[in-house]
Structure formats: structure tokens, C-alpha cells
Chain A
Amino acid sequence: DAKTTQPNSMESNEEEPVHLPCNHSTISGTDYIHWYRQLPSQGPEYVIHGLTSNVNNRMASLAIAEDRKSSTLILHRATLRDAAVYYCILSSGAGSYQLTFGKGTKLSVIP
């Protein structure tokens, strides 16, 4: 499986932008980059995904490096509700739909 590396934890002030990095230097050309998050005591929740181009949705933006060896999840204005563990996950490959979770980045939001 292609692996990802994320910082263990990050902090942000409320209402400020947050940039969550992910390194995936062994990504293959067909791997999608998915981001999920897990709020305390809840199941994981989809945030965003992309292949090569930057992506935006109502929750976040995903910036993908030109060489695709890294990506950044951007929360434009962090709220207290965004405090969660954020997981960067690469799609496993043809015919495999399982999500392989790492330890993720625990984001704390300071009021």
C-alpha cells in the first residue's frame, strides 16, 4: 500500500485558516488522495478527495503538489467543530476499495 506521512498534531486559532500537510512520496499515477476526519467519539467522515488538480467543496480545499508527492488540506476558517483527527488516505488500487487509515493529524482549535 502507498503510505502517507502526517504530523501527529496541530493547533489553530478559531476562525483562522488551517493547512494540514500530507506527504505521499510513493503515490502511483492512479492513486486518488482522500481526506477523512474523525470527530471525538464519532465515525470517520469524508472531507474531500482529488487526483491531480486542486479541489474545493463546502468543507475544505485540497491543494495537490504538481509532482503529487504531497498534498495539503485547507480549512479556510477553523471552528471549534473542526477539532478532529484528520486522515490523508490513498486509494488502495484497482479493485480494492478499502480505506487504510494511518494515525492522522489531531487538530486542536483554540477559542
Chain B
Amino acid sequence: EPEVTQTPSHQVTQMGQEVILRCVPISNHLYFYWYRQILGQKVEFLVSFYNNEISEKSEIFDDQFSVERPDGSNFTLKIRSTKLEDSAMYFCASSDGTRGIQDTQYFGPGTRLTVL
């Protein structure tokens, strides 16, 4: 069964450094998402991406964050200058876009980001 994959599984970085989290969505999917989950807290929406542009973003997704689909398979989340509070599990998801608000989102296993 097709699945969303994410690399790396764990990323440790120093405060102020840039990090790029990578995701490979399911191949025929058209919508891509990033969510994050701080330890012990709710899963929070960050951004959705469709047709090579951001379609929605949350208040969390400020100028420090950016997303990109650099080629036909990868979808990346970049944090320009990491802060301690960016430490969280980051989940990528994708959906095929054929059923609108009924779309099923398929989540990857997550990347644990630790900012020291």
C-alpha cells in the first residue's frame, strides 16, 4: 500500500540553525500538508500546498517557515532560524484532492525535531 515517507526520523539542531524536513507524498496525490505536535499536546495544522502554492496556513506558519516542492516527488518544510519552541514532531500528509472536504489525509511517520 502506498505511504507517505519522511526523512530524517530525528533531527537535532542548534538554536538559530536552518533545518529542512523532507517528505515524499503518495505519488498521485495533489494536496500536501504539514502539521506539528509538541510533546504531550495536540496535533496542529501548519500549512497546505496545492498546485505549487500555499493554499492555507495557520498563525504558527510565520516568516520563519517555508515550503517547497522542489521536484515531482519531494515536499519540504524549511525552518530558517530554529527556536527552542520549534522542538516538536512534524508530520507530513497528502490527499488526492478528488473529494474536497471528504478527502482522506494520509500521514507520514513524522520527523522529531529537537532544538538545543
A: residues with CB less than 8 A from B are 32, 38, 42-46, 49, 87, 91-94, 96-103
With A32-B101, A46-B104 as known contacts, state yes or no: A99 contacts B45, CB within 8 Å: yes
Interface string of B12-51 (1 = CB under 8 A from A): 0000000000000000000101010000001111001000
Cross-chain contact A43 with B109 (CB below 8 angstroms): yes
A44-B43, A46-B104 in contact; A96/B56 too (CB < 8 A)? Answer: yes
Residue among B33, B44, B45, B106 with the highest chain A CB neighbour number at 10 A: B45
Contacts of A101 in B (CB 8 A): 35, 42-44
- Size class of the B contact interface (CB-based, 8 Å): 20 to 34
| Chain A facing B: main interface SS | loop
**1/0 per residue B73-116: CB within 8 Å of A?**
00000000000000000010101000011111111111000000
With A91-B101, A97-B31, A97-B101 given, is the CB distance from A44 to B107 under 8 Å?
yes
Contact of B107 among A45, A91, A93 (CB under 8 A): A45
Q: How far is the CB of A86 from chain B (nearest CB, A)?
A: 13
**Residues of B contacting A42 in the complex (Cβ-Cβ under 8 angstroms):** 109-110
Q: Does B58 contact A (CB under 8 A)?
A: yes
B107 with A49: CB separation less than 8 A: no
A43-B91, A43-B110, A44-B91 known; A99+B105 contact, CB < 8 A: yes
Residues of B within 8 A of A98 (CB): 33, 45, 48, 56, 58
Closest CB in chain A relative to B11 CB, distance in Å: 16
